Structure 1
């Protein structure tokens, strides 16, 4: 082999080693970036106390102006055998509202949000919506939008079938439609 061939062979070998090294560095860099992006999220705490069962069947979020409607609605769900939580049920004198509501959402198997003009303008309800929706997406908990007013559902809520109470009264003189809707919700919660 002449000197030129030997020189070209050496240059080719060095070029191959250098390109292999840079490919190795690029792959390591990509893997490190992927690991940083795919770092596991802190999972939500379990939906229940130590015994493995949820403390509440459902947590109900709503706007203040809908309190009377929600009291009646929660009572009807209770009559269907569900253990219903909402802020007034779980609050205690001297308790811190945000911690109490967070615990109730965490300890509920599923979530209901009453969508009305009042709830759509409430900062508290927006926070509860975020927690309920995140829990539904990450943990598979049921999220049921209950519509009682003329509102447009947020995008994520609109992906769920809603219980529409807009043209339904409070159960008195509505041909049983109110009770039918409450029954549908209770069956959905019990079946999960």
Structure 2
């Protein structure tokens, strides 16, 4: 076989390698597209929650992180982000608020600009006054708390990864743990 014959063989092998490589890449992309998206934890319809977390839409990622950490502590958490398709968000929130032992409101610069969050703030305060349930302000930014949140001791989570962050988070988990009536 001459030089041209080897060139043809190398060209054919190179083309086959490119086709196989492209095929593998396309299959991988299709498999990733078909891979199921991990579902958020289910909302507990009609069930009880240890904590209702209220947050502005801008603080969604922070609220999800907080909820995940509280769930890791064995707590049952309500987060509006976890409401399933076909459900009415305002009704689910109202039911969850009624079925929650404690309420947390994530405070940032955008919190009190949201009318729905102001309603949740009022409902959390009312439950704290009439139902003996905790309302815990959680600071995630340097903001001044509204008057009725200011009179409560907030949990300071403004410095993720900082020395006091883990200590403050552990304090929050302990505060909302269900209490045993046995002595």
Secondary structure class of the residue paired with 1:108: coil
Matches within 5 A, 1:1-192: 55-89=48-82, 91-166=83-158, 168-169=159-160, 171=161, 174-175=162-163, 177-190=164-177, 192=179
For residues 68 and 146 of structure 2, the distance between their equivalents in structure 1, rounded to whole angstroms, comes to 27
Structure-1-length-normalised TM-score: 0.66
Secondary structure class of the residue paired with 2:65: helix
Contact 1:112–1:146 under 8 Å retained in 2: yes
Contact 2:106–2:139 under 8 Å retained in 1: yes
Secondary structure class of the residue paired with 1:188: helix
| Consecutive unaligned residues in structure 2, runs of 5 or more | 1-45
Deviations 1:71-122 (A, max 9, x none): 1111111111111111112x22122111111011111110000011111211
Q: Highest CA radius of gyration, 1 or 2?
A: 1
Which 4+ residue blocks in structure 1 deviate beyond 6 angstroms? none
Structure-2-length-normalised TM-score: 0.69
Aligned length: 135
Secondary structure class of the residue paired with 1:114: strand
Contact 1:86–1:104 under 8 Å retained in 2: no
Q: For residue 42 of structure 1, what is the aligned residue in structure 2?
A: none
Shift in Å, 1:150 = 2.2
CA-atom RMSD in angstroms: 1.7
For residues 52 and 80 of structure 2, the distance between their equivalents in structure 1, rounded to whole angstroms, comes to 9
Contact 2:50–2:178 under 8 Å retained in 1: no
